[in-house]
Amino acid sequence: MQITKLFYKFDELQKLYGEKTLDSVYGCGQIKNPELCFVFMNPTARNVSSSKEWKGLKAPWISTKNVWNMFYQLGIFEKKFIEDINSKKPNDWDYEFAEKVYQKVKNKLIYITNLAKATQVDARALSRNVFKAYLDLFFEEMDIVRPKAIITFGNLAGTPYIRHIVSKFA
pLDDT digits (tens, 9 = 90+) for 34-68: 999 999 988 899 999 999 999 999 999 999 999 99
What's the pLDDT at 47? Answer: 94
154 has a pLDDT exceeding 80: no
pTM here is 0.91
Return the amino acid letter for 98: A
pLDDT at 34: 97
Amino acid residing at 78: E
Q: How many domains does the chain have?
A: 1
Which residues face 168 on adjacent strands? none
pLDDT bracket for residue 155 (50, 70, 90): low
Dump pLDDT digits (tens) for 64-82.
999 999 999 999 999 999 9
pLDDT of residue 169: 55
pLDDT of the residue at 153: 84
Distance CA(109)–CA(21), nearest Å, equals 33
Residue 82 sits in a domain whose CATH number is: 3.40.470
For 111-128, the pLDDT digits (tens) are 999 999 999 999 888 888
Q: Does residue 156 register a pLDDT over 70?
A: no
Q: Which neighbouring-strand residues pair with 122?
A: none
Asked if 46 and 68 touch (Cβ cutoff 8 Å), the reply is: no
Predicted local distance difference test score (pLDDT) of residue 103: 97
Q: What is the pLDDT of residue 81?
A: 94
Residue 28's DSSP bridge partners are 112
Domain holding 113, by residue range, is 4-167
